[in-house]
């Protein structure tokens, strides 16, 4: 196994270090994965924003909920086909074939639109499947490439690329609209961007340092050799594994709650757009709807990007993946509960917009990163087949359940929006319980399958003596401390052996493992300095050395 140190960082590693703990040589791989995610999300958000315009101008918010249900039905057939393709092809070819398939379909929609065909419903279905399938495939690929500890550290940084791509995609739509590019012509731009990602996957995999690469869990690599279970593909993994089943239920609840809020918001937006046209603010409801969602996605993705860049890795450091899993359901329970209680006293459209911005930004940053990290301790087949099933079918199944509940509630039970806000708050409470159980299983898998050894002091740190008024320049070797956990890194700190801070004239550079300073003229005696090496899990080792204020060497 390879030991990982804080020293030997490249320029790129050091630039990324403010966002997470970096190991030597990891920066280039993170940038390539981040660029891959960035381009994929730019493409998706161009498609996503155009789909809102097409569906709401040709149909309405209620039709959008039925289109989401249609996606789940189609995925019942697509997921097993994907499993067959996974078992028949190497992962590199799998990713290429699936990417090309979606790029070709974008071109087909472009031609259909120019032929004056009504594409709103079917295009909405396509973009929904695109969004869950290609993004699920990207994160399955990333989970396959990194081991658990490196993934926990680096996924938050890679997700910055995805968050920036989502933000960039929403602004690209606004820019292309501003320069006069039609919404149909935007599809061509999205298709070209998607094809560019074909060049990044294998380059990103090759750039990962050996000590950060995937180490597969000792689990079955696929379903038993049974024809029916092979036909089920990822569904077979989920049915046999309680942990995967919990993740599937969690995803259903997440999307049920989120989609209910989205559909209600769209209904408000459609009504608002009609009012804007009637007031003469806009001449076309499609322009008003596009502007609203362009601004909405901008704020969602801006807050998501800030959370991703500065908060997510710190959440992992202090409460871990299992703790991060609890944050979004708590926010959802509070937000929808607040609206349900205060609906008669507060401006619902404005408050709902704020709640959805907060909910979606946390979803796209903290929750999204955490959902990907849940698959790090699993086998390769579970990462591709089961993850694809969960992130596609079960994701859309949550939408389908929401669509059915919305239809029954509005058309058969005469329910109002207030009832749906109450239901959302209740579902969020159930979601909290499921997230707790899934987090507990995750911790068990990590303890079972992942090494967690504290750093070790392998040799003493040499003493140093500095004359009064003289310059201090002292560093310890890179192999003084060693951590044998795959993918782990150490950070260093220094203090006096008594626990007090270093004197102001001694500066410690942890990246270079170097002490600098100029001793005061009045310096006398000696200082005992303790160096502490801490890994990502918080385990540590320490060593001490003496700094003597003398011209002649003094033995310990």
- Give DSSP secondary structure letters for 238-303: HHH-HHHHHHHHHHHHHHHHHHHHHHHHHHHHHHHHHHHHHTTS-S-HHHHHHHHHHHHHHHHHHH
Place of tokens 């079917």: 122
pLDDT of residue 4: 42
Residue 220: predicted pLDDT = 44
Q: What is the pLDDT of residue 230?
A: 65
Tracing tokens 């981040």 back to the chain, one arrives at: 34
User: Candidates 1.10.150.120, 1.20.1250.20, 3.30.1360.120, 3.40.50.720; correct CATH number of 23-449?
Assistant: 1.20.1250.20
What is the DSSP secondary-structure string of 351-418? HHHHHHHHHHHHIIIIIHHHHHHTTTTS-HHIIIIIHHHIIIIIHHHHHHHHHHHHHHHHHTS---HH
Q: 409: which 2 tokens? A: 């509630």
Residues 6+ apart with CB under 8 A from 169: 41, 42, 43, 44, 45, 46, 48, 49, 297
| pLDDT the model gives residue 506 | 94
Pairing outcome for strands 514-518 and 471-475: antiparallel
pLDDT at 197: 93
What would the two tokens of residue 1 be? 């196994």
User: What are the distances in angstroms from CA 346 to CA 104, 288, 424, 478, 512?
Assistant: 47, 24, 18, 60, 56
Coil vs helix vs strand at 165: helix
CA 26 vs CA 201, 328, 477: distances in Å: 15, 30, 21
The two beta strands, 481-482 and 471-475, are unpaired
Tokens of 235: 């569904």
Q: Note the pLDDT of residue 94.
A: 86
**3-class DSSP state of 447:** helix
What would the DSSP string read from start to end of 186-202?
A: HHHHHHHHHHHGGGTHH
**CA torsion sign, 473 to 474 to 477 to 482?**
negative
pLDDT in the model for residue 12: 92
Contact 396/252 with Cβ under 8 angstroms? no
Q: Give the model's pLDDT for residue 62.
A: 62
Instruction: Report in angstroms the alpha-carbon separations of 321 from 24, 123, 316, 325, 342.
Output: 24, 35, 6, 6, 33
For the chain, what are the domain ranges?
23-449, 456-548
How distant, in Å, are the alpha carbons of 174, 285, 553 from that of 295? 9, 15, 68
String of b and e for 531-554 (b: at least 16 CB within 10 Å)? bbbbbbbebbbbbbbbbbbeeeee
pLDDT of residue 235: 87
**Taking the chain, what is the end-to-end CA distance rounded to the nearest angstrom?**
35
Helices 148-178 and 183-196 meet at what angle, rounded to 10?
150
Average pLDDT along the chain, 556 residues, taken 10 residues at a time: 53 88 90 95 87 70 70 84 82 86 91 80 87 91 91 91 82 72 81 92 91 63 53 83 95 92 85 86 81 83 85 88 95 90 72 90 91 90 90 83 84 84 94 96 84 84 90 91 80 91 92 90 88 84 89 44
Distance of CA 63 to the CA centre of its chain: 30
Class of domain 456-548 as given by CATH:
mainly beta
Return the ∠ at Cα 467 (arms to 463 and 473), rounded to 5°.
55
Long-range contacts of 324-327 (CB under 8 A, 24+ apart): 324/366, 324/367, 324/369, 324/370, 325/250, 325/367, 325/370, 325/374, 325/435, 325/436, 325/438, 325/439, 325/442, 326/432, 326/435, 326/436, 326/439, 327/362, 327/366, 327/367
The sign of the dihedral angle between the CA atoms of 192, 196, 197, 198 is positive
User: For residues 536 and 22, is the Cβ–Cβ distance under 8 A?
Assistant: no
Between vectors from CA 345 to CA 342 and to CA 347, what angle results, nearest 5°? 95
Tokens 């609209």, residue located: 177
C-beta separation of 497 from 528 below 8 A: yes
Within 8 A by CB and 6+ apart from 411, the residues are none
Question: By the 8 A CB rule, do 425 and 340 touch?
Answer: yes
Is there a contact between 530 and 514 (Cβ–Cβ < 8 Å)? no
What is residue 56's predicted lDDT score, i.e. its pLDDT? 66
Q: What is the pLDDT of residue 402?
A: 82
Report d(CA 156, CA 162) in Å as an integer.
Answer: 10
- Spatial distance between the Cα atoms of 499 and 482, rounded to a whole number of angstroms: 23
Structure pTM? 0.76
Q: Give the span between the Cα atoms of 64 and 66, in whole angstroms.
A: 5
- Tell me, what's the pLDDT at 356? 92
């Amino acid at each position: 196994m390879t030991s990982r140190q804080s020293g030997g960082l490249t320029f790129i590693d050091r630039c990324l270090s403010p966002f997470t703990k970096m190991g030597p040589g990891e920066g280039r791989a993170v940038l390539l994965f981040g660029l891959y995610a960035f381009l994929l999300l730019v493409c998706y958000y161009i498609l996503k924003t155009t789909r809102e315009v097409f569906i709401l101008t040709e149909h309405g918010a209620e039709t959008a909920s039925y289109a989401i249900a249609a996606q789940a039905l189609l995925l019942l057939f697509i997921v097993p086909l994907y499993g067959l393709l996974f078992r028949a092809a190497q992962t590199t070819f799998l990713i290429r074939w699936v990417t090309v398939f979606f790029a070709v379909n974008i071109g087909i929609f472009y031609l259909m639109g120019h032929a004056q065909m009504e594409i709103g419903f079917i295009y909405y279905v396509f973009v929904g499947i695109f969004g869950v399938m290609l993004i699920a495939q990207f994160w399955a690929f990333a989970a396959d490439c990194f081991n658990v500890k490196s993934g926990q550290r680096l996924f938050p940084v890679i997700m910055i690329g995805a968050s920036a791509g989502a933000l960039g995609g929403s602004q690209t739509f606004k820019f292309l609209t501003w320069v006069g590019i039609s919404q149909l012509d935007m599809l061509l731009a999205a298709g070209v961007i998607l094809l560019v990602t074909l060049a990044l996957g294998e380059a990103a995999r090759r750039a990962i340092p050996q000590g950060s690469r995937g180490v597969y869990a000792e689990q079955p690599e696929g379903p038993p050799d049974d024809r029916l279970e092979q036909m089920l593909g990822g569904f077979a993994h989920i049915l046999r594994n309680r942990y995967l089943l919990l993740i599937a239920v969690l995803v259903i609840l997440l999307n049920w709650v989120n989609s209910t809020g989205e559909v209600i918001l769209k209904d408000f937006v459609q009504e608002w757009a009609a009012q804007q046209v009637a007031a003469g603010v806009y001449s076309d409801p499609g322009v008003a709807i596009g502007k609203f969602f362009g601004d909405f996605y901008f704020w969602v993705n801006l807050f998501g990007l800030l959370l991703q860049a500065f908060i997510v890795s710190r959440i992992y450091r202090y409460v871990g993946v299992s703790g991060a899993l609890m944050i979004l359901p708590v926010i959802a329970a509070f937000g929808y509960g607040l609206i349900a209680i205060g609906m008669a006293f507060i401006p619902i459209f404005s408050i709902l917009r704020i709640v959805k911005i907060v909910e979606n930004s946390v979803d796209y940053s903290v929750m999204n990163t955490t959902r990907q990290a849940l698959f790090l301790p699993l086998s390769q087949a579970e990462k591709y087949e089961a993850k694809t099933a969960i992130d596609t079918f079960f994701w859309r199944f949550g939408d389908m359940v929401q669509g059915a509940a919305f239809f029954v509630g509005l058309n058969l039970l005469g329910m109002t929006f207030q009832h749906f806000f109450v239901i959302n708050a209740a579902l969020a409470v159930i979601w909290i319980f499921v997230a707790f159980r899934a987090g507990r299983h995750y911790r068990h898998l990590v303890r079972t399958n992942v090494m967690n050894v504290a750093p070790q002091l392998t040799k003493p740190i040499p003493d140093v003596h500095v004359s009064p008024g003289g310059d201090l320049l002292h560093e310890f070797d890179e192999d003084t401390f060693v951590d044998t956990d795959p993918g782990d890194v150490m950070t260093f700190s220094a203090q006096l052996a008594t626990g007090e801070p270093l004197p102001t004239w001694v500066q410690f550079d942890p990246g270079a493992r170097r002490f600098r300073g100029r001793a005061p003229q009045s310096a006398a005696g000696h200082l005992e300095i303790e160096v502490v090496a801490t890994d990502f899990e918080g385990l540590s080792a320490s060593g001490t050395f003496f700094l003597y204020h003398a011209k002649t060497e003094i033995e310990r």
